[in-house]
Amino acid sequence: MTTDLMPNRFRPGEAELSPRDADLIARRDAVLGASYRLQYRNPVHFERAEGMWLYDPEGRAYLDFYNNVPSLGHCHPEVNAAMAAQAGRISGNTRYLEPGLVDYAERLVATFPAEMDRVVFTCTGSESNDLALRIARHVSGAQGVIVSSHAYHGTSAACAGVSPNLGAAVRLDPATRMVTLPGPAGIPDEGAARHFEDQVRAAIADLQRRGFGVAALLFDSIFSSDGVWLDPPGFIAGGAAAVRAAGGLVISDEVQPGFGRTGDHMWGFMRHGIVPDLATLGKPMGNGFPIGAVVGRADPMAGFGATARYSNTFAGNAVGIATADAVLRVLQRDDIPGNARAMGARLRAGLETLQGSHASLRAVRHAGLFFGIDIGRDDMPAPARRALALDLVNAMREDRVLISTTGANEDTLKVRPPLIVGPEHVDQFLHSLGRALALVEGRRT
């Protein structure tokens, strides 16, 4: 979920707008579809970006601790140079022989377990999940998909049908079943694996009883939209095994946790000690250029490809491949996952220090540089915790530090900075959060 998403129309009295921004909002209202939203009570307006920073028209710098798409930072010069150089040559598609496509495919699958040795390219994470669902349903001959209770997997019709995060107005596919996670259900770590497996087995039984069968378990390996419930490592393994025994595929949605964000591993599913049948990639793969992929085992890929077609003109185009190749090269050469691990530990230590003086910091969960920070005391009603979290995010926005919220109640801060973050950026974030906590807690005393 995102923070205080506003309808196009600005709500009067919430913040002062410059005449320029007020006019721009009015023009948006007059031309954009009603589904568009603005973020933050006082919307942000940026003209350029570099590294960890976004700059408004007045040249003021905002520290980005929210955008995971530019995983190597905004406008990375090496990535941009590779993109521009290829755009100046040719941008062919996958039906033509292109050495760069094969070179990158080989390098990408080499970062996965040996069993996952095939890749199909897409343009976005949504397309990746859509294709993975097609493959799973084709090779299993079933329709049922099991997801977590607040999952988000994309914007296509198929992905929306397995994304309860989108809300009650978006109907789930009749063959979708939701499972609750151990943490939100109040299950301690020692019972987490059993709880998850029991939930999955119950979903399998219901799908089979109703004639849908089981096509897939689809999960974001750090369950980011559920509130970043990612521990204990390995708790999903029993549920994954149950789905395979029922004839379904295991699909790991790596759009958010992938490409080293978890610090210890290149891919989030590796924390759980499993090898999925398919993994879906997107967002950070091109550091902002739209490119995604499905990486998986040869058998389901072959079963799908033998009788079904997947033709996507733009997917795997030469410019996207050159951009993604530069991203992967920098990630590996500069040990970006190692930086995620080190800076994640620094951020965790700072948050634990803040917890000592701020009761509003209820719990901290993270893997590398993806944090979920629960806000509000246990004795506060859910609406009050949500309001406090949103107040914190908007106070930090006024302090020119950007984060968001997540979770079923939106009372969890979502913190996922670009992976190039340094100690000085972590310290600035912690100082800003401390100031915001003092401000919003003071208002409530």
* pLDDT for 13: 36
Looking at residue 444, what is its pLDDT?
A: 66
Query: What pLDDT score was predicted for residue 11?
Result: 38
User: In this predicted model, what pLDDT tens digit does every residue of 335-381 receive, in sequence order?
Assistant: 999 999 999 999 999 999 999 999 999 999 999 999 999 999 889 99
Question: Which pLDDT does position 270 carry in this prediction?
Answer: 97
Q: Mean pLDDT over residues 397-402, rounded? A: 97
pLDDT at 12 (0 to 100): 31
pTM value? Answer: 0.94
Q: pLDDT class for 309, splitting at 50, 70, 90?
A: confident
- Report pLDDT for 35: 84
32-46, 220-234, 273-287, 317-331: the lowest-pLDDT one: 32-46
- 140 pLDDT tier (thresholds 50, 70, 90): very high
Which pLDDT band, with edges at 50, 70 and 90, does 15 fall under? low
**Average pLDDT of 31-55?**
92
Residue 65 clears pLDDT 90, i.e. is over it = yes
For the segment 53-77, the average pLDDT, to the nearest whole number, is 96
Q: In sequence order, which residues have a C-beta less than 8 Å from that of residue 443 and are 6 or more positions away?
A: 391
- Identify the weakest region by mean pLDDT among 29-33, 279-283, 295-299: 29-33
Residue 333 pLDDT greater than 70, yes or no: yes
Domains assigned to the chain: 44-74+336-443 (3.90.1150.10), 77-333 (3.40.640.10)
pLDDT tens, residue by residue, 241-252:
999 999 999 999
In this prediction, residue 385 carries a pLDDT of: 95
> pLDDT band at 8, cuts 50/70/90?
very low
Of residues 379 and 203, more confidence is placed in 203
Mean pLDDT across the stretch 199-206? 98
What is the mean pLDDT of the segment spanning 315-333?
A: 97
Model confidence band, residue 445 (pLDDT cutoffs 50, 70, 90): low
Mean predicted confidence (pLDDT) in 30-39: 87
Rounded to the nearest integer, the mean pLDDT of the chain is: 93
pLDDT over 80 (residue 16)? no
Task: Check residue 33 and give its pLDDT.
Answer: 87
